[in-house]
């Protein structure tokens, strides 16, 4: 997927703009608090329909305004489409070629993977960060993953409500049957994604990292087994064992909402690593592997967005990152305060856009 | 008590119509203006039909489907029809689901309407559903097969799994409608072809 034109109005602090884009690399540079990340935010919204940093879509509308829009011309799979996202109050509308589109139809044309400074938390933070990463990556590669996530979430909510209401064992039994089934399906999908992506993570990490040593990913779950049925049985057994404790604490104590992805380098947990540089190259490898996995299935490469590249990577890693991205033939949007440090970007295929006071120059 | 302020009849009518599910303030107002332009008596005819609704409809004494009140008959048309196959019962969540099966013309047996699905989030448990009358129908051993055709969502599944466990001790074959249906869809909106295929592919639970 490539953007050939980007426009926005009443979006954050940005002055209305409409720009043609003709390069693979777009560098958004300028002093702090000028709107660089807000441009990235606009691209991310277009490609994922989600805010990059803000909590709610309405935070993306310029203060004091009611509505904002972002639109772009994209080429994907040899065809061109006009994508448009309109934010109005708390509502969001996605259009393809001027017509409101279903999510499925929209995501045929749009996707992106972003790397922001806080993403180091994927390696160093709580398990929830890694579960979210897996679900996001699985969704980018296989949109049907969303349905599995939603279904398990709903089953989990029903179970929690059942525990709060202290329903009869016969009802909990039935709910646990369904919970184990939807949990097993979710685990099967997540495990498949981790297995699919692992070789890419390892190869890219070897390229990016200064240190040697193979990076390994393992999905850790109680739902063990080599089929959905086996996983469901395992989970169902655990749920039966946990019944008493769950009743006491009125919480669901077993299931993939508690799983984790172990990220290890040569048998050491990556979370125990000291160096921020090491952590950054691991997260970057995870994100780039996502790119590969996503392009494998749908055939088209997502956009790659990097916020604040200056503070994220040393010169050597930046050079190797650019090599990987060129190899993937991805279109890349980067923000930085000092563009002089990006000397390794391809001369003829890079556009520098200066951002000051919400204006694009 | 203070006297209620006089209400604008247009807004009052719109507010009533907006109580319908799926009808917002805007649509309701549009309907009210349509009514104002409609021939004399239109609103009265509608109001009369709506008022007669509650008293004119009851639950079938056998399958709990909704049916018109008729003298000397407590059953619905399906249950009263002597030519149906009384050994197979399709269990559904809503009366609308019966309509979908009937339209498909693929099924000659009987129905049972639960009037909902197990959903602790909404405070709905087995006691809220028409499960006892279903057990009643199975008592004499005449019914051979129960097809659980609850929606393929979390609540429909929980209901089917609950019934499967409940009926485990009873000598009746229990099957679950196969997932020939689009995920997330509701039985009511399924097209006849996919319903027929799902029915064909029903499997033991
Ligand atoms: N909804 C909004 N409306 C108007 N201005 C906003 C909004 N949200 C953030 N801003 C402003 O945007 C600026 C930050 O832009 P940002 O893209 O984060 O800067 P940077 O160039 O450092 O990446 C700040 O001046 C902030 O006050
Ligand atoms: Mg920034
Ligand atoms: Zn009946």
Q: Apex CA B144: angle with CA B141 and CA B146, to 5°?
A: 110
Query: Are the C-beta atoms of A318 and A324 separated by less than 8 Å?
Result: no
Q: Is residue A294 part of a domain?
A: no
**pTM for this predicted structure:** 0.82
DSSP for A210-228 reads SS---EEEEEE-S--SSSH
| Cα B82 to Cα B80: distance, rounded to the nearest angstrom | 6
Q: Is residue B100 part of a domain?
A: yes
Same domain, B47 and B87: no
Q: What per-residue confidence (pLDDT) applies to B169?
A: 87
Q: Please judge whether B118 and A174 are an interchain contact, meaning their C-beta atoms are less than 8 angstroms apart.
A: yes
Residues of chain A with pLDDT under 50: none
Same domain, B108 and B143: yes
Q: Is residue B84 part of a domain?
A: yes
- A188-198: pLDDT as tens digits: 999 999 999 99
Same domain, B139 and B180: yes
Q: Is residue A96 part of a domain?
A: yes
Looking at A251, A270, A289, which one is the last position of a domain? Answer: A270
Same domain, A86 and A163: no
Pull the structure tokens for residue B46. Answer: 């509608």
Same domain, A217 and A144: yes
| Cα A21 to Cα A10: distance, rounded to the nearest angstrom | 20
Same domain, B53 and B84: no
Same domain, A261 and A126: yes
Q: Is residue A275 part of a domain?
A: no
Q: Which ligand has an atom closest to residue B130 CA?
A: 3
Same domain, B87 and B113: yes
Same domain, B124 and B40: no
Measured in angstroms, the CA of A146 and the nearest CA of chain B are apart by: 12
Task: Give contacts of B119 with chain A, Cβ < 8 Å.
Answer: 158
Q: Is residue A53 part of a domain?
A: yes
Same domain, A324 and A343: yes
Measured in angstroms, the CA of B24 and the nearest CA of chain A are apart by: 16
- Ligand 1: does its nearest atom lie under 6 Å from the Cβ of A311? no
Q: Is residue B85 part of a domain?
A: yes
Query: Are the C-beta atoms of A202 and A214 separated by less than 8 Å?
Result: yes
Which residue among A13, A30, A45 is best mutated to probe the pocket of ligand 1, counting the most ligand atoms within 8 A of its Cβ? A13
Same domain, A264 and A180: yes
Query: Are the C-beta atoms of A315 and A199 separated by less than 8 Å?
Result: no
Same domain, B78 and B53: no
- Ligand 1: does its nearest atom lie under 6 Å from the Cβ of A55? no
Of B126, B158, B162, the CB nearest to A158: B158
Q: Is residue B158 part of a domain?
A: yes
DSSP for A94-153 reads EEETTEE--HHHHHTT--EEEE-GGGGHHHHS-HHHHHHHHHHHHHHH-TTHHHHHHHHH
Q: What is the CATH number of the domain that holds B30?
A: 1.10.8.420
- Chain B residue closest in CA terms to A171: B162
Q: Can you give the residue range of the structural domain that contains B82?
A: 74-204
Q: Is residue B64 part of a domain?
A: no
Same domain, B95 and B177: yes
User: How many structural domains does chain A have?
Assistant: 2
Residues of chain B with pLDDT under 50: 1
Q: What is the CATH number of the domain that holds A200?
A: 1.20.1050.90
DSSP for A164-197 reads HTT--HHHHHHHHHHHHHHHHHHHHHHHHHHHHH
Q: Apex CA A257: angle with CA A251 and CA A261, to 5°?
A: 140
Same domain, B121 and B92: yes
Among A265, A260, A287, residue whose Cα is nearest residue A275: A265
CA A321 to chain centre: 18
Q: What per-residue confidence (pLDDT) applies to B179?
A: 64
Backbone angles phi, psi at A121, to 5 degrees: -60, -20
CA A296 to chain centre: 17
Using the mean position of ligand 1's atoms as its centre, give its distance from the Cα of residue A4 in Å: 24
Task: Give contacts of B131 with chain A, Cβ < 8 Å.
Answer: none
Query: How many beta-carbon contacts under 8 Å exist across A and B?
Result: 58
Same domain, A187 and A263: yes
Same domain, A140 and A107: no
A276-298 helix and A127-141 helix, angle to the nearest 10 degrees: 30
Same domain, A92 and A152: no
Residue nearest to atom 12 of ligand 1 (CA): A13
Same domain, A136 and A242: yes
- A283-331: pLDDT as tens digits: 999 999 999 888 876 668 999 999 988 765 778 878 888 988 998 899 9
Segments of B47-136 assigned E as strands:
57-59, 66-68, 88-92, 110-113
Same domain, A102 and A190: no
Alpha-carbon dihedral A37, A43, A48, A51, rounded to 10 degrees: 30
Q: Which ligand has an atom closest to residue B79 CA?
A: 3
Q: What per-residue confidence (pLDDT) applies to B184?
A: 57
Q: Please judge whether B121 and A161 are an interchain contact, meaning their C-beta atoms are less than 8 angstroms apart.
A: yes
Q: What per-residue confidence (pLDDT) applies to A295?
A: 80
Residue nearest to atom 16 of ligand 1 (CA): A35
The two beta strands, A25-29 and A350-356, are parallel
Give the residue carrying structure tokens 């556009």: A351
Segments of B50-204 assigned E as strands:
57-59, 66-68, 88-92, 110-113, 145-148, 173-176, 203-204
Same domain, B120 and B157: yes
Same domain, A144 and A237: yes
Q: Is residue B122 part of a domain?
A: yes
Using the mean position of ligand 1's atoms as its centre, give its distance from the Cα of residue B158 in Å: 47
Pull the structure tokens for residue A235. Answer: 């989970």
Q: Please judge whether A147 and B125 are an interchain contact, meaning their C-beta atoms are less than 8 angstroms apart.
A: no
Query: Ligand 1 atom closest to Cα of A63?
Result: 3
| Cα B133 to Cα A136: distance, rounded to the nearest angstrom | 46
Q: Is residue B62 part of a domain?
A: no
Pull the structure tokens for residue B144. Answer: 């051979």
Q: Please judge whether A174 and B158 are an interchain contact, meaning their C-beta atoms are less than 8 angstroms apart.
A: yes
Q: Can you give the residue range of the structural domain that contains A66?
A: 2-111+300-360
Q: Tell me the Ramachandran region of residue A98: left when phi exceeds 0, alpha when psi lies from -120 to 50, beta otherwise.
A: left
Query: Are the C-beta atoms of A344 and A27 separated by less than 8 Å?
Result: no
CB atoms within 10 A of CB A90: 9
User: How many structural domains does chain B have?
Assistant: 2
Q: What is the CATH number of the domain that holds A47?
A: 3.40.50.300
Task: Give contacts of A147 with chain B, Cβ < 8 Å.
Answer: 183-184
- Ligand 1: does its nearest atom lie under 6 Å from the Cβ of A35? yes
Q: What per-residue confidence (pLDDT) applies to A45?
A: 96
The residues placing their C-beta within 5 Å of ligand 2, an ion, are: A 37
Measured in angstroms, the CA of B162 and the nearest CA of chain A are apart by: 5
Give the residue carrying structure tokens 């004399």: B40
| Cα A349 to Cα A68: distance, rounded to the nearest angstrom | 31
Q: What per-residue confidence (pLDDT) applies to A127?
A: 96
| Cα B174 to Cα B166: distance, rounded to the nearest angstrom | 11
Q: What is the CATH number of the domain that holds B150?
A: 3.40.1360.10
Q: What per-residue confidence (pLDDT) applies to B191?
A: 64
Q: Apex CA B155: angle with CA B153 and CA B158, to 5°?
A: 105
| Cα A145 to Cα A185: distance, rounded to the nearest angstrom | 10
| Cα A341 to Cα A359: distance, rounded to the nearest angstrom | 22
Same domain, B44 and B78: no
Q: What per-residue confidence (pLDDT) applies to B180?
A: 61
Q: Cα dihedral sign for B104, B105, B111, B115? A: positive
Using the mean position of ligand 3's atoms as its centre, give its distance from the Cα of residue B101 in Å: 14
Same domain, A6 and A73: yes
Q: Is residue B173 part of a domain?
A: yes
- B129-144: pLDDT as tens digits: 999 999 999 999 999 9
Same domain, B196 and B113: yes
Query: Are the C-beta atoms of A239 and A254 separated by less than 8 Å?
Result: yes
Pull the structure tokens for residue A54. Answer: 């803000």
Of B119, B165, B183, the CB nearest to A158: B119
ipTM above threshold 0.85: no
Pull the structure tokens for residue A238. Answer: 């655990």
- Ligand 1: does its nearest atom lie under 6 Å from the Cβ of A34? yes
Q: Is residue A286 part of a domain?
A: no
| Cα B186 to Cα B188: distance, rounded to the nearest angstrom | 5
Give the residue carrying structure tokens 């060129």: A326
Pull the structure tokens for residue A201. Answer: 């993570």
Q: Please judge whether A161 and B153 are an interchain contact, meaning their C-beta atoms are less than 8 angstroms apart.
A: no
């Amino acid at each position: 997927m490539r953007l050939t034109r980007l426009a926005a109005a009443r979006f954050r602090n940005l002055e209305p703009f409409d720009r043609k884009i003709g390069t693979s690399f777009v560098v958004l540079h300028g002093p702090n608090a000028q709107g660089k990340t807000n441009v990235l935010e606009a691209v991310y919204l277009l490609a994922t329909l989600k805010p990059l940093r803000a909590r709610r879509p309405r935070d993306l509308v310029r203060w004091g305004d009611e509505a904002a829009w972002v639109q772009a011309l994209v080429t994907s799979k040899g065809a061109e489409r006009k994508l448009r996202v309109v934010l109005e109050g708390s509502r969001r509308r996605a259009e393809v070629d001027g017509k409101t589109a279903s999510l499925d139809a929209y995501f045929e044309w749009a996707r992106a993977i972003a790397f922001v400074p806080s993403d180091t938390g994927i390696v160093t933070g709580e398990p929830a960060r890694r579960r979210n990463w897996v679900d996001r990556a699985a969704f980018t590669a296989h949109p049907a993953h969303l349905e599995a996530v939603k279904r398990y979430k709903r089953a989990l909510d029903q179970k929690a409500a059942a525990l709060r209401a202290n329903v009869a064992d016969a009802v909990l039994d039935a709910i646990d049957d369904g919970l184990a089934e939807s949990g097993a399906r979710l685990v099967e999908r997540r495990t498949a994604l981790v297995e699919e992506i692992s070789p890419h993570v390892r190869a890219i990490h070897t390229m990016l990292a200064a240190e040697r040593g193979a990076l390994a990913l393992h999905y850790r779950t109680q739902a063990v087994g080599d089929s959905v049925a086996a996983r469901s049985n395992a989970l169902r057994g655990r749920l039966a064992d946990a019944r008493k404790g769950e009743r006491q604490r009125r919480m669901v104590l077993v299931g993939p909402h508690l799983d984790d992805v172990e990220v290890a380098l040569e048998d050491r947990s990556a979370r125990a690593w000291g160096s921020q540089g090491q952590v950054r190259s691991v997260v970057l490898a995870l994100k780039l592997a996502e790119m590969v996995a996503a392009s494998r299935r749908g055939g088209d490469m997502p956009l790659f967005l990097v916020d604040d590249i200056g503070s994220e990577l040393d010169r050597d890693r930046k050079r190797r990152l650019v090599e990987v991205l060129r190899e993937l033939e991805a279109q890349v949007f980067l923000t930085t305060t000092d563009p002089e440090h990006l000397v390794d970007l391809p001369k003829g295929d890079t556009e520098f856009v200066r951002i000051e006071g919400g204006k694009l120059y | 008590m203070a006297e209620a302020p006089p209400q604008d009849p247009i807004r009052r009518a719109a507010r009533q119509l907006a109580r319908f599910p799926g009808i917002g303030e805007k649509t309701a107002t549009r309907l009210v203006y349509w009514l104002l332009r409609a021939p004399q008596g239109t609103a009265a005819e509608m109001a009369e039909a709506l008022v007669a609704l509650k008293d004119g409809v009851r639950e079938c004494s056998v399958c709990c489907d909704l049916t018109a009140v008729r003298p000397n008959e407590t059953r619905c048309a399906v249950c009263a029809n002597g030519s149906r196959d009384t050994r197979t019962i399709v269990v559904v969540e809503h009366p609308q689901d019966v309509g979908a099966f009937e339209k498909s013309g693929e099924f000659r047996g009987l129905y049972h309407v639960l009037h909902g699905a197990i959903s602790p989030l909404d405070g709905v448990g087995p006691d809220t559903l028409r499960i006892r009358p279903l057990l009643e129908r199975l008592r004499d051993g005449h019914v051979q097969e129960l097809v659980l055709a609850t929606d393929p969502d979390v609540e429909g599944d929980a209901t089917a799994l609950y019934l499967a466990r409940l009926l485990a001790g009873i000598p009746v074959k229990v099957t679950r409608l196969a997932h020939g249906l689009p995920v997330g869809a509701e039985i009511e909106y399924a097209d006849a072809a996919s319903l027929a295929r799902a029915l064909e592919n029903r499997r033991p639970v």
